[in-house]
Amino acid sequence: MMKLKLLVLSGGMFASISLHAEVSEVCPAISCDCTSLPKAEWQATCADHEKQIKKRCAANKNKPMDYCSIHGPMGTPLPLAMRFTNVAVLPEKDVTAAHKSLDGMYASVHADLATMKKKASSLSFKEALQLAKTLDETINRIFETERQVAMSWLVYEQQKDAVGAWRSYAGDSLDMAEQFTEFADEMWQAYGSENHDGAKKAYKILAFKVWRLAGKAHEMSAYSYAGANKSKKAAKAWSLAADISKVVLAAKQSSKAKLSHINFYRFQAASRLHRASYHFSVTGDSEEALKMLSAANDVSPGDELLALIELEENQEAAELTNSGT
């Protein structure tokens, strides 16, 4: 079972490619992966939600208008940062080298971040923003390589190596996320104290870009912990990613951003919290799963999660009654 889960995570959209080919009757761009949810009640609620948003999609010429607010691990569309691309199995002799190459990629991230800090400090904002773009591309390359390495080791029946790799990747991603968050916070503080219009605008843009990198890195950490079969740590990583979304949301609101931007980060925070609830549920921690669902519902622009919350509360009530407490 664990091997299958890792293959799906490592191999990207293997499962969803065949699924999308079959579900072509109504809005094939929407597939919330409901059957992967850990409880039958969640699956049913997710299926109802998927049906509703597919109807809206069909009425919009098969163009999605909604996210899968309730979803399994391979659900789409979602307002998350990481994108899964198809990756090829490496020749067995090349897997270890590819794994070791990640050390250089992470070192490149830290070097570029250090340079970006210097550029921002010297008010060289154009160069700082270019480095933010470079960092985003490097992060995508890192995640793709990590998935390729882990998938390849699994194909060659080196499950221990794959799991160990995911554990190390999770720690590297978490460290990267923390450093991005610290710098983004500094840029936002500079935005608040800056009086020059041009510099003020640059600090704001840079803060948002680096916060997005931080959220992306937290998502990487969450996927890595899941690949290492560490569901509780994956849940916490998704919760940290949601914290970044909420920080960006508050910053967008205070800077009077467009409503569409504000709602995007509401949906993103809710989706990340829903992922956290999924992983807590996998571990059997119903209390934390409910807590994450409630937090997701509080921030979401919609009310789709209310049904899941009610299911969890009813189950807790039933368990309390049956225990005679």
Both 118 and 218 in a single domain?
A: yes
Distances (CA, A) of 292 to 41, 191, 279, 312: 17, 32, 10, 11
Same domain, 49 and 133: no
Let me know whether 251 and 138 are in one domain: no
- CA distance from start to end of the chain: 36
DSSP-based three-state secondary structure for 175: helix
Among 40-49, 106-115, 118-127, 205-214, which stretch is predicted with the lowest mean pLDDT? 40-49
Q: Would you say residue 40 lies in a domain? A: yes
Give a yes or no: residue 78 inside a domain: no
Give the phi and the psi of residue 285 in degrees, each rounded to 5: -90, 80
Residues 108 and 124 in one domain: yes
How do residues 158-184 score in pLDDT, each as one tens digit?
999 999 999 999 999 999 999 999 999
103, 44: one domain = no
CB 98 within 8 A of CB 145: yes
pLDDT, residue 313, reads 67
pLDDT at 308 over 90: no
Residue 82 one-letter amino acid: M
Secondary structure of 120-150 in the HEC alphabet? HHCCCHHHHHHHHHHHHHHHHHHHHHHHHHH
Q: Are 118 and 238 part of one and the same domain?
A: no
Query: Among residues 180, 202, 229, which one ends one of the domains?
Result: 229
Task: Determine which of 10-14, 29-33, 239-243, 314-318 has the lowest per-residue pLDDT on average.
Answer: 10-14
Domain that holds residue 262: 232-325
Are residues 137 and 112 in contact, defined by beta-carbon separation less than 8 angstroms?
no
pLDDT digits (tens, 9 = 90+) for 219-271: 999 999 999 999 999 999 999 999 999 999 999 999 998 998 999 999 999 99
227 Cβ neighbours under 8 A, 6+ residues apart: 5, 6, 9, 10, 150, 162, 163, 166, 169
d(CA 146, CA 167): 11
What's the rounded Cα separation, in Å, for the pair 15 and 27?
A: 18
Number of domains observed in the structure of the chain? 3
CA atoms of 259 and 240, how far apart (whole Å)? 24
In a domain, 82, yes or no: no
To which H or E segment does residue 200 belong?
A: helix 197-227
Q: Which of 229, 244, 270 is the last residue of a domain?
A: 229
Q: Note if the bond before 77 is cis, omega within 30 degrees.
A: yes
**Cα 265 to Cα 248: distance, rounded to the nearest angstrom:** 7
Together in a domain, 163 and 105: yes
| 217 and 245 assigned to the same domain | no
Distance of CA 72 to the CA centre of its chain: 12
Q: What is the pLDDT of residue 18?
A: 37
Is residue 122 domain-shared with residue 215, that is, in the same domain? yes
Write down the pTM of the prediction. 0.86
Residue 85 confidence (pLDDT) = 86
Largest Cα span, the chain: 67
Vertex 74 angle, CA 68 and 76, to 5°:
35
Q: What's the rounded Cα separation, in Å, for the pair 4 and 45?
A: 25
> Do 282 and 255 reside in the same domain of the chain?
yes
Give 291: exposed, middle or buried? Use CB within 10 Å, 0-12, 13-18, 19+: middle
Task: Note whether 256 and 193 are same-domain residues.
Answer: no
- Domain shared by 115 and 53, yes or no: no
